[in-house]
Chain A
Amino acid sequence: MLFLSVLHLFLCLSSWAWGVYSLDTQEQIVRNFFEKNGSPVGETGSTHTNNWAVLVCSSRYWFNYRHMANALGMYRTVKRLGIPDSNIILMLADDASCNSRNKFPGSVYANPGRHLDLSGDNIEVDYRGYEVTVENFIRVLTGRMDPSVPRSKRLLSDERSNIFVYMTGHGGNEFLKFQDNEEISAFDIADAFEQMYQKKRYNEIFFMIDTCQANTMYSKLYSPNILATGSSNLGENSYSHANDNDIGVAVIDAFTHYVLEFMEKINKTSQVSMQELLSSVDVTKINSHPGVRTDLFRRSLDKTRITDFFGGVAQVEIVPPLDVADMNTPDEAIPESTNKGKGDNESQEHLQLHSDVPSGSTPQEPSTLAKALNWMGEKEWKNARAWASVTLIGFLASWAASKH
């Protein structure tokens, strides 16, 4: 009896120990799986399984050609390094390629020699023209979308996503203008990132901004795992890099130009670190002081590879098919869903009302007849009303006048 109970205890203990051991090994397997594509230095490598890019050009008008070229240059680079169109949200506030002032219709070039047409083939602009608003940008980041928004316009990232956020436009101290109409502040971006963090929408973010006084834009970030860089300090302008004398306007900004120039040397398998990219930008060439903010970022920059953000992860993870609605409903605030419900009810009511009308169409006919009759007399009736009023006022006036 005693033996049995001892055996029992032993079995329990051993199964617990095995359980613990097997749990460890399973975690190890998972970790190994995720780190397969990470850096060889194990614990400092990235742990993401997918890459996303949000590229925003917030200014419109022909003379801001360079901002569109900036965003399109980034688009080309991230696409070349393997992020598919489905994972790129491109927001372009204006269409320089189709501007009537463009000497090369349908093309956008980022260099004076016009070697490379950025607008040439396979451009997928997700938000364009007046769709590029602060609200839409924040909705894209936080994922609070109307159910009708198609997948291609959503940032469907998860807690294993590395996201590259690039913004360009006209800005100032802690703000970036959207289309000469509204502004996004550094606080808005910081809060949006925090919301993304809380909703587990990212693993790491690389935030890059090219605008005047750009470094102020990342100064308010407070969520973890964000690496940020900007083109210029507080009080500094970001300058354009070069004009094309046939297009007649500046075609790219200096900071973006040198970043892109560096990126041209990178391919999908390159092991170049972020440190090298960020230190490659020469202050004397761009006439402003680019800044980097690393305090929120866990890894050291020289261990972080450029392709962690710019490249697409090659491995494919098979997961059960995601239901978009499922994924979004928890994100959506409750009032929104109730609203939706209400709207549905209303529309149903409307439907019912409408369906009532045809059924009662027979009794309607006399009413139209009456209406027609009414209309015949309406003109005279109206005149009669006007005359009656005039007469009454006249009567009133003459009475009042004759009273004394």
Chain B
Amino acid sequence: MASKSTRTTFSNFQASFLALTAVRLWISLTDLSITLKHDHQLSSPLTSFSQLQEGIYLFKHDIDPYSGGSFRHSPILLSFFATILPNSRKLASVLWTLIDAAGAWSLVQIWRSRQNVISSPWDILIASLYLLNPYIFLPSLALSTSSFENTLMLLSIMLASQGRASASLLALSLLLHLSLSSIVMLLPILLLLINDPHSHLASPKPMANSLRKMVPLFGEFTVYTGILTILSTIVAGSWAWIPQTWGATLTLPDLTPNTGLWWYFFTEMFDHFRPFFLMVFSVHLLIYVVPTCIKFQHDPLYATFIMLGILGTFKPYTTLSDPGLFLSMIAIFPETYPYLRHPIVTALLHLHSALLMPLFHHLWLTQGTGNANFFYATTLVFACSNGAALVDSIWAGLRIAIGPPVDNYTVVQE
């Protein structure tokens, strides 16, 4: 009886999952992607599909795509799209939907391994929270390669939760090639690999496993990254791809507006301060890694989740799918919900910024009644709402250890 019911939920999940994917596919095949593909909020110069197509065109016509300043995608993407992956818009839409479906499936797998179950009635809710999250859905419609990054990230986490170290590290090093900022995810993933993914938030204890176990894993990661770097160089024909792809993340040559905090700041920057602040902004991303991992050493999956939030808020060249991944991942930590501090405030902040951002973008670039400051102001609001979600999650993740609230007692966290 029990096994039968398990099977029915399982097949129910599969059916609903397929239905969701079909809906996604149907929407992605409409002409929406044509109108969306140039939207600054959905794809950045590092993830835009039209720039990828331009790079492939140059590549196929014997021009080094990295010699100009327009193509900033990884040579790995270049090689895949120049060979086996489709280049036409319709087929690409299908591919992008499948990639998102893979991401959703990975998220469900992460949830299952965290709960240590084979299936649960919540599976479909989690999948739909990923597939129908507009922050993830819209960039995917716009064919932004950030969908690939999200799926690789989720795959890496999933494989790490299942203890498949090599595959996880390979996925992470592929991700690193697509987006340099993902390097901050290395430490949490390594921790996850030497620990189990189950929730230990309620009972924090120092990590039992020795950190020394991480060394061979780190070595493996380095090897994979090295191999991929060599492969990239083989594809690109020279080392010129490095300053154009990884270098762009560090030096911010393209100041096209996006949802992040960097572009406006560096538009206004005097040239002689630029290197200094580039350094500050880049290092700023790194300083969170170790504290987060130490604080959540008992639950590395939660640390990974927090790092995703930080990355989505502060990394250069963000698209909506970066914070979208963080927000969708909240779904797999239901134990923290009762301890969230101001969930309604955070939700309302997100509602405001989600409506304000496209509106001000429209006022600035379509109607011409606003200006760049309007849009930048909304990206600040957006960063605040992401920050609020992040702070809420950190608070809840730590607060849960103290147990349910008792009247006349207030918890203080320092």
Contacts and interface: CB of A to CB of B under 8 A. Distances in A.
Contacts of A388: 231, 234
B76 A393 contact: yes
A404 B82 contact: no
Contacts of A7: none
Contact of A389 (B165, B166, B235): B235
Interface string A341-365: 0000000000000000000000000
Would you call the interface of chain B mostly helix, strand, loop, or mixed?
A: helix
B309 to A, nearest CB: 28
Given A390-B84, A397-B170, A404-B163, A382 B62 contact: yes
Contacts of A378: 62
Contacts of A383: 82-83
A385 interface: yes
Given A379-B62, A400-B170, A403-B167, A386 B83 contact: yes
A350 B245 CA distance: 34
Contacts of A390: 79-80, 83-84
A389 B237 contact: no
A283 interface: no
Contacts of B78: 386
A389 B167 contact: no
Contacts of A400: 164, 166-167, 169-170
B234 A403 contact: no
Nearest to A394: B84
A382 B75 CA distance: 12
B262 interface: no
Given A382-B59, A382-B62, A401-B167, A396 B227 contact: yes
A314 interface: no
A387 interface: yes
A386 B166 contact: no
Nearest to B228: A393
B224 interface: yes
A392 interface: yes
A403 B166 contact: yes
A389 B76 CA distance: 8
Interface string B214-256: 0000000000100110011011010000000000000000000
A158 to B, nearest CB: 39
A386 B80 CA distance: 7
A378 B63 CA distance: 11
Contacts of A375: 62
A393 B82 contact: no
Nearest to A384: B234
Given A385-B237, A389-B231, A390-B84, A396 B75 contact: no
B223 to A, nearest CB: 10
Contacts of A404: 162-164, 166-167
Contacts of A387: 79, 83
Interface string B81-106: 01110000000000000000000000
Contact of A396 (B82, B83, B164, B224): B224
B80 to A, nearest CB: 6
Given A389-B235, A390-B80, A396 B170 contact: yes
Nearest to A401: B167
19 contacts: A379-B62, A382-B59, A383-B83, A386-B78, A386-B79, A386-B83, A386-B235, A388-B231, A389-B75, A389-B231, A393-B79, A393-B80, A393-B174, A396-B170, A396-B227, A397-B167, A403-B166, A403-B167, A404-B164
A-B interface, 5 closest residue pairs, ranked by CB to CB distance from nearest: A400-B166, A386-B79, A400-B167, A389-B79, A400-B170
Interface of B: 59, 62, 75-76, 78-80, 82-84, 162-167, 169-170, 174, 224, 227-228, 231-232, 234-235, 237
Given A386-B78, A392-B231, 5 more contacts: A378-B62, A390-B84, A397-B170, A399-B166, A400-B164
